[in-house]
A and B are shown apart, each in its own frame.
Chain A
Amino acid sequence: MKHSKKIMSAVLAALMLSTFAACGSSDKPATDNSGAAGGDTGDLSGKTITFTMQKYGSDASAQEKVLKEMTEAFKEETGITVNYSIIDWGQALTKLTLACTGGEAPDVADIFFTPSMVKIGNGQYGPADITDIYEELGGDDAYFEAVIDEVKIDGKVYGIPWRMDTRAMVYNKAHFEEAGITEVPTTYDELIEAAKKLTKTDDSGNITRSGVVLPVGQARFDQGWFNLLAGHGTSVMNEDYTEFTFGGQEGIDTIQFMLDLINEYKVCTPNVIDPSFDAGTEYQAEKASIVLGQNADFMTAVQSNAPQLEEVTGSAVMPNLTGEGVSSVAYTAPISIMNSTKERAAAEEWLKYFCSAEGQIKFCSAVNLINARKEVMEDEFYSSDWMKAFPEQANRAIYGDPAIPTWSQIDAFPNGPLNTMLTNIVGGADIKTEVDNCLKQCQEIYDKNEVDLG
């Protein structure tokens, strides 16, 4: 009797161990086998590389489908197998950071915060220098100006810009008709006038429908603010990214403009500060007529959440002070090859394939993303009623994220200096004090990093 229990536990242990072993071998991703033959140059067929991308588009299966098609076609052409994974945004930043500090990293990756990642990787990990591929694909001329800085650090290129996220104005055509507005506003003055006509209030004076809403989600004001800074002729930093310029007169005017929309002209609801307030859903609930900055994928959200509005939703270039010139910002994210890759040649082939004009048109049209490559944006996909405002806006946009390594800290949400400043101001604090405070903090963070560079 004594022995049977011992035997039982031994059997249990053995079972466990064998299950572990079985699991281990069957579920390890195929990334470990670098494939068969293939010399140093030339024949790459049989190689396997890993490719990671974040999730894009509201429909999960669209991205999955197009990646499958593209990787299969690529395999037919070159014999290289691409194992792709789609990463959700939940821990994308953590994963990326770990990948750049020596943790698990794919061969080719869709990254963001490029300057930070390059710095973190320090040459050993992180995005690799692919200036030659960039030149091969067309260099500076092939891409929109606004996005080039994100990938070029000290003159070297660390990623190929692919998706572009530029924000255009979205409006409800039916509301416009109802209010008798026939022309889409192109200047801020026109915007305020139109918004006044569109705003509806109840008996106690509370706004039930905002004429215009700032593109705020989760009480995050920075992105809407960047658009307006651009429209007022300034930006967060200067051209060389050595100074913070948002504190100048135009910067103050921008902030005042934002506040005026809420407090003075009363065309935007003061509920923007609620963490669950989302300009997009506000629009879909028909509690807003104009959203001052949305991306091209917004239409997909409208189609799924509020299909009754699909017909009447229109997009237009953002208004600014004068009606001409820069009126919005554009963000990009590059595709990079990681320094830690063991299949550099195969990775390069995939990179070139994916980032070619045809590759990009195929991918971006499947997930409704705008592209950083000028040639792609000339494709007829982007000339539809909804899309056409975006290529135009792309030409009238400046960068959204300054290309400095500490940007993620400065723009951290919700408690980084920029977002704190904006939340405080919208909540009623004095503009000048907050701006000065913020400038000081940003400068501190920036300087500290410069010093570390030694």
Chain B
Amino acid sequence: MNKRSRRFLNGLRHWVVMIFTTFFVLFPFYWMVMTSLKPREELMASPPKWIPSYLDFNNYKLVWEQMPLLRYLGNSLFVSLMTTIVCLVLATFCGYSISRFVMRKTQKFTSVMMIISQLIPGTLPFISFYFIMYNAHLTNTYQGLIIAYSVWAIPFCTLMMKSYFSQSVPMALEESATLDGCSKFGIFFKIALPISVPGLVATAIFAFIQGWNEFMWASVMLSNNDMKPASVGIYDFIGQYGANSNVSLSMTAAVMITLPAIIFFAFLQKYLISGLSAGAVKG
């Protein structure tokens, strides 16, 4: 086939994929927003209307009054941020160690432990872990959440940083520094770390998202509603038997919880991808 038609088909394929994906990704969000703005009389129509006759913003006022949204979002932000910091520090040190001294027994053992920890389904160790936390007086505290989230994110982040160091930080640089008498810590801080900022950013974003989305542990650990993160916030609108009895309010809450996250990550995506392509990806 000639160049023209090939280009046309490529362009066509491009836009078909874009449009389909856009619809697939965005339609649920559209529905979420639209349900939150639907006037009450049209709410229970079946089959439902795709476009409401007018927009009713009343729900937003109601939810704002009923749910301490800023508090929840603030908690989410705080917990995720701290999780990211703790996880990043620990995972970077560990990842570096494994990538540089890979032949040694300790490093091999650690790698194996990191993988094995991924195999574990979260639900059962939950109880054992809860009592560890409880006995350490860490239930119902921010620290408890942060420690749990950080450690859960560590295996994946370690592996990411390890592959990053292996791929993108050349040994040659480090070897010459060793010859100059630099200590191992020194090499790490002076040479490896500065170059690895993209990888750090990408790993940080992953850790952040992990902390942001987690809800089960937070829900069980916290009895104090002041500390609730936003991911649990929507439980406020789900009733006794799990029924979603107040659809419009819960959709409104959903919008208010999800929108900030989407906007925030929209800004970060550039760093995520550039960080990943610099080498954390290959495994």
Consider the complex of A and B and state whether they touch directly, i.e. have CB atoms less than 8 Å apart: yes
Kindly supply a per-residue 1/0 record for chain B positions 136-153, scoring 1 wherever the CB is within 8 Å of any chain A CB and 0 otherwise: 000111110010000000
Residues from chain A with Cβ under 8 Å of B236 in the complex:
55, 60, 88
Which of A1, A104, A280 is within 8 Å of B223, CB to CB?
Answer: A104
The yes or no answer to B28 lying at the interface (CB within 8 A) is: no
Kindly supply a per-residue 1/0 record for chain A positions 111-155, scoring 1 wherever the CB is within 8 Å of any chain B CB and 0 otherwise: 000000000000000000000000000000000000000000000
Residues from chain B with Cβ under 8 Å of A5 in the complex:
189-190, 193
The yes or no answer to A201 lying at the interface (CB within 8 A) is: no
Which of B130, B219, B241, B247 is within 8 Å of A305, CB to CB?
Answer: B247
* Residue ID in chain B nearest A54 by CB atoms: B240
**What are 10 A-B pairs at a CB distance below 8 A?**
A19-B82, A20-B146, A23-B141, A27-B141, A56-B240, A60-B237, A90-B232, A217-B243, A306-B44, A307-B41
Which of A68-76, A174-182, A281-289, A316-324 is found at the contact surface with chain B? Answer: A281-289
Residues from chain B with Cβ under 8 Å of A85 in the complex:
223-225
Residues from chain A with Cβ under 8 Å of B225 in the complex:
85-86
The yes or no answer to B85 lying at the interface (CB within 8 A) is: yes
- Nearest Cβ on chain A to B209's Cβ, whole angstroms: 21
The yes or no answer to A59 lying at the interface (CB within 8 A) is: yes
Task: Give residues of chain B (241-271) contacting chain A, Cβ–Cβ below 8 Å.
Answer: 241-249
Starting from the known contacts A60-B66, A278-B244, 15 additional A-B residue pairs (CB-CB under 8 Å) come to A27-B141, A55-B236, A60-B67, A87-B223, A90-B232, A94-B220, A95-B220, A98-B130, A103-B131, A104-B134, A104-B140, A220-B241, A281-B247, A305-B44, A308-B40
CA distance A106 to B40 in the complex (A): 39
Residues from chain B with Cβ under 8 Å of A218 in the complex:
241-243
Kindly supply a per-residue 1/0 record for chain B positions 33-66, scoring 1 wherever the CB is within 8 Å of any chain A CB and 0 otherwise: 0000000110111100000000000000000011
Kindly supply a per-residue 1/0 record for chain A positions 267-310, scoring 1 wherever the CB is within 8 Å of any chain B CB and 0 otherwise: 00000000000101100111100000000000001001111100
Which of the four size classes fits the interface of chain B? 35 or more
With A5-B189, A54-B240 known as contacts, the answer to whether A285 contacts B46 (CB < 8 A) is yes
Task: Give residues of chain B (114-173) contacting chain A, Cβ–Cβ below 8 Å.
Answer: 127, 130-131, 134, 139-143, 146
* Residue ID in chain B nearest A32 by CB atoms: B137
With A94-B220, A98-B220 known as contacts, the answer to whether A89 contacts B235 (CB < 8 A) is yes
* Residue ID in chain A nearest B59 by CB atoms: A304
Cβ-closest 4 pairs across A and B: A5-B189, A285-B44, A88-B235, A90-B235
CA distance A5 to B189 in the complex (A): 6
Residues from chain A with Cβ under 8 Å of B283 in the complex:
none
CA distance A22 to B227 in the complex (A): 14
**Chain B, interface SS category:** helix
The yes or no answer to A91 lying at the interface (CB within 8 A) is: yes
- Nearest Cβ on chain B to A300's Cβ, whole angstroms: 9
With A5-B189, A85-B223, A91-B219 known as contacts, the answer to whether A103 contacts B130 (CB < 8 A) is yes
Which of the four size classes fits the interface of chain A? 35 or more
With A88-B238, A89-B239 known as contacts, the answer to whether A61 contacts B65 (CB < 8 A) is yes
Task: Give residues of chain A (22-47) contacting chain B, Cβ–Cβ below 8 Å.
Answer: 23-24, 27-29
A306 touches B43 (CB 8 A): yes
Which residues from chain B sit less than 8 Å from chain A, CB to CB?
Answer: 40-41, 43-46, 65-67, 82, 85-86, 89, 127, 130-131, 134, 139-143, 146, 182, 185-186, 189-190, 193, 215-216, 219-220, 223-227, 232, 235-249
With A19-B82, A52-B223, A98-B220 known as contacts, the answer to whether A287 contacts B46 (CB < 8 A) is yes
Residues from chain B with Cβ under 8 Å of A98 in the complex:
127, 130, 134, 220
Kindly supply a per-residue 1/0 record for chain A positions 211-230, scoring 1 wherever the CB is within 8 Å of any chain B CB and 0 otherwise: 00000011010000000000
* Residue ID in chain B nearest A83 by CB atoms: B224
B246 touches A29 (CB 8 A): no
A305 touches B223 (CB 8 A): no
CA distance A301 to B245 in the complex (A): 7
The yes or no answer to A395 lying at the interface (CB within 8 A) is: no
Which of A13, A23, A59 is within 8 Å of B66, CB to CB?
Answer: A59
Kindly supply a per-residue 1/0 record for chain A positions 12-23, scoring 1 wherever the CB is within 8 Å of any chain B CB and 0 otherwise: 110010011001
B41 touches A308 (CB 8 A): yes
The yes or no answer to A58 lying at the interface (CB within 8 A) is: yes
The yes or no answer to A102 lying at the interface (CB within 8 A) is: yes
- Nearest Cβ on chain A to B152's Cβ, whole angstroms: 18
Residues from chain B with Cβ under 8 Å of A16 in the complex:
82, 85-86
CA distance A361 to B14 in the complex (A): 65
Residues from chain B with Cβ under 8 Å of A6 in the complex:
185, 189
B143 touches A24 (CB 8 A): yes
CA distance A27 to B236 in the complex (A): 21
* Residue ID in chain A nearest B216 by CB atoms: A91
Which of A12, A28, A280, A287 is within 8 Å of B245, CB to CB?
Answer: A280
- Nearest Cβ on chain B to A412's Cβ, whole angstroms: 13
Residues from chain B with Cβ under 8 Å of A9 in the complex:
89, 189
With A2-B190, A90-B235, A90-B238 known as contacts, the answer to whether A24 contacts B43 (CB < 8 A) is no
B143 touches A23 (CB 8 A): yes
CA distance A135 to B175 in the complex (A): 82
CA distance A5 to B44 in the complex (A): 61
CA distance A20 to B141 in the complex (A): 10
- Nearest Cβ on chain B to A102's Cβ, whole angstroms: 7
* Residue ID in chain B nearest A52 by CB atoms: B223
A217 touches B241 (CB 8 A): yes
B43 touches A305 (CB 8 A): yes
With A9-B189, A16-B85 known as contacts, the answer to whether A88 contacts B130 (CB < 8 A) is no
Residues from chain B with Cβ under 8 Å of A20 in the complex:
143, 146
Residues from chain B with Cβ under 8 Å of A304 in the complex:
40, 246, 248-249
